[in-house]
Chains A and B, each alone.
Chain A
Amino acid sequence: MTEGTIALLSFVLTLMVFSYVLGDLPLVGHLYRTAVYIFVGMSAAFATIVAYESVILPYLQDIQNPETSWTALGNSADVAIFATALLFGLLLLLKPIASLSWLTNSALAVVIVVSAATAVVGGLSGTLIPLVVATAAVPDGLATDFGALTNTLLVFVGVVTALFYFQWQARRDDDGAPVQSPVSRGIRNFGKIFIVTALGAIYATTMLTALTILAERIGFVFQFGS
């Protein structure tokens, strides 16, 4: 495909997507939806290509070569793993048959628990422990730098109170209605300041990213048009 064709297609498709701004007019509304359906079809095609070429095909080629092995168990184990994975895929197709759905569920169970085990280890070693260590760490020279001491304390208190915000504790009054103690409400509100500030900043940075892309697209449309 030549550079000119790519630019022309980009121009037309960008205008089709931007037609969304004009609202649900009889013909214009169809342009946006057409672009979205083209996008869905192409994404599905590329997902299929990636799943086949990056995962299934390399494994398929590897098991055909007796010299290679993924694990220390040898090539025959690779063949068994690949065949089991294909069997799991086929078992998923049995889901509509109620009497055999336990087979599908067993295959799904393996996929879900392995993902859960990976998520537990990843969550612990990749997020929880490093973040707790980073938050509790005391930087050097804090005793002489009052500003740094205040900031470090503020981050620590912010993280603790913001985490407390997610925990809703209350006791019941005489009528059985939940009542929060003033101290608990105060800590939660202090933590909420940090949560809302973080969400506002994340929203602003996402807007900036979208604005940069919008400026680039509008620039491209005008440049192509001229």
Chain B
Amino acid sequence: MSRAQRIGIAFSAFIAFAVGLITLLSLLLGGRPELYAELAGAPVFASLMTLPAAVMLRLVAITSAVTIVIGISNLLYVHLGRVVRGAFFSIVMIASFALTIWWYWSKQGDTSLLAAVQVPIESALAALLFLSMVGGGARVLGKRADIWGLLFVTVLVVVLLGSLPIESLAPVRAWSDWLMEIPVSAGARAILLGIALGTVVTGVRVLLGQDRSYRG
């Protein structure tokens, strides 16, 4: 690695640390005048503290929109290369993209194409998910024939049966309701807490420069 590249990496790390720290402090301390109750101009100061985060969030919002456009341009570029070689599905993809853009602009924002094409395909794909999930549930018992696989399938069956509007299944529905209220609630809370802890720890690692995924 050359000296210039090392300086470049150090520059990126410094920028990341400074911007991250300023944004974090602004998000935590901004817009809360009660924190500066002893200061004379507490509301004004609290409002000023929100400025860095507001600026950074707008900057990132616009940059993200630009990166989406760049990413889609890259997708089109790759498929255009395949169109030259006569790839049928790439032609379909490019034609679908071009038709949608043309339709939207020529019909002044008409979204009927969304209702006619996008929604039915999305719905049909979501419907196919049911078949895949039934297969997946059956495979759990086949490949994990232990107490945990059995518990998973039992809960699955109880919740499915409990959702049926059949009078004779009222006891199962009571079981299903209890499951959803107590153990499922506890498990889901733990999973959400785990995700939040993971997010916070990863975020702090990025802010401290321990995790420098932006180095590429």
Q: Are B63 and A73 neighbours in the complex by a CB distance under 8 Å?
A: no
Chain A residues near B118 (CB-CB < 8 A): 39, 42-43, 46
Partner of A113, one of B16, B148, B179, B199: B16
Q: Are A206 and B133 neighbours in the complex by a CB distance under 8 Å?
A: yes
Chain A residues near B16 (CB-CB < 8 A): 109-110, 112-113
Contact with B along A164-195 (1 / 0, CB 8 A): 01100000000000000000000000011111
Interface of B is mostly: helix
Chain B residues near A21 (CB-CB < 8 A): 128, 131
Closest 7 CB pairs of A and B: A102-B8, A198-B187, A158-B186, A41-B96, A200-B155, A162-B190, A89-B66
Q: Are B134 and A207 neighbours in the complex by a CB distance under 8 Å?
A: yes
Residues of B within 8 A of A (CB): 4-5, 7-9, 11-13, 15-17, 19-20, 23-24, 27-28, 47-48, 51, 53-70, 72, 75-76, 88-90, 92-98, 100-101, 104, 110, 112-131, 133-134, 137, 148, 151-156, 159-160, 163, 179-197, 199-200, 202-204, 206-207, 213-216
Chain A residues near B59 (CB-CB < 8 A): 81, 84-85, 88, 110, 114
Q: Are A48 and B155 neighbours in the complex by a CB distance under 8 Å?
A: no
**Which residues A112-147 have CB closer than 8 A to chain B?**
112-124, 126-128, 131-132, 134-135
Please report the C-alpha to C-alpha distance between residue A74 and residue B61 in the assembled complex, in whole angstroms.
19
Partner of A105, one of B64, B195, B214: B214
Please report the C-alpha to C-alpha distance between residue A104 and residue B27 in the assembled complex, in whole angstroms.
26
Number of A positions contacting B (CB below 8 A): 118
Q: Are B69 and A154 neighbours in the complex by a CB distance under 8 Å?
A: no
The answer to the question of A17 belonging to the interface, with a C-beta cut-off of 8 Å to chain B, is yes
Q: Are A45 and B97 neighbours in the complex by a CB distance under 8 Å?
A: yes
The answer to the question of A149 belonging to the interface, with a C-beta cut-off of 8 Å to chain B, is no
Please report the C-alpha to C-alpha distance between residue A214 and residue B134 in the assembled complex, in whole angstroms.
13
Chain B residues near A119 (CB-CB < 8 A): 199-200, 202-203
Given A81-B58, A102-B11, A154-B183: A163 and B194 within 8 A (CB)?
yes
Please report the C-alpha to C-alpha distance between residue A202 and residue B196 in the assembled complex, in whole angstroms.
18
Nearest CB on B from A71, distance (A): 5
Q: List 15 A-B contacts (CB under 8 A).
A: A42-B97, A45-B96, A45-B104, A49-B101, A56-B66, A81-B58, A103-B8, A109-B13, A110-B60, A117-B27, A120-B203, A194-B186, A197-B187, A200-B159, A210-B133
